[in-house]
Amino acid sequence: MLEDTLVEEDIHPVYVSAALTHTGKVRESNQDGFVDRADAGLWAVADGMGGHMEGDVASRMVCDALAAIAPASKLDGTLDDIQRRASEVNTRLYAAAIRPINPVQSGSTVVVFAVQRTACAILWAGDSRVYRLRHDQLAQMTTDHTWAAQIAPMYGSEEVEELDHSIMRAVGGEQTLVLDVRRDRVRLGDRYLLCSDGLTRELPPDRIAALLGEGTVQDAAQALIDATLAAGARDNVTVVVIEAT
């Protein structure tokens, strides 16, 4: 308790960030979106669901709602606002999907990273991810909401690639949106990466770790996009790189 209190009171990190998105080499349009608000301590990535109509509209609705958030005096207040705004978008998308005339099925993954001083929280639905690089060690901070991720512990790494990676949870997918929440503490020098699955389907974790640690946050973001394109970029790819300085 004493260590946490001292960290929270005495350390005021400055957060710098860079965000990039690319359509990739196969898709005709980019259904990814991002929020990059270092001024508000809020970042997000949304990936419109490729198998659904209007996926780009869904991801844009999610990002627009999150980008409009004004940070609260306490992190819990910001998290409540994130939950509320994401749920409002979910309600609109779900209503459009079930209406009897001209229904429109659309959905989007979302992953949000919010900070206040050294306290941070991650909220997500779907398979867009957050990674943390600390002392050159990469840690995945989210768990994919896919069938494959649910049963992966029972299989080897090669077998997992053959499993069903269909999304089990997304904004617009069900009447009620459930976001998983993970809280953590930031240390000076930490780097965080928010990304869509267009990155993680092309680059293994060790490659992501090496690129995430390169140069400035702008350098790292560009390196991750370039490496994904070199690997084939079969999907849209979006990265947001954040550093606590």
| Residue 4 pLDDT | 43
Tell me what pLDDT residue 102 has.
Answer: 87
Confidence at residue 103, expressed as pLDDT on a 0 to 100 scale: 85
Q: Which pLDDT score, from 0 to 100, does residue 93 have? A: 94
pLDDT value of position 149 = 66
Closest by alpha carbon to 63, among 90, 37, 44, 88? 44
Residue 101 structure tokens: 């005339």
Listed residue (51, 79, 48, 50) closest to 61, CA to CA: 48
Segment-wise mean pLDDT, segments of 10 residues, the chain, 245 residues:
45 95 95 97 92 80 97 94 98 93 90 97 98 98 84 52 71 96 98 98 98 98 98 97 98
pTM, to two decimals: 0.90
What's residue 7's pLDDT?
Answer: 43
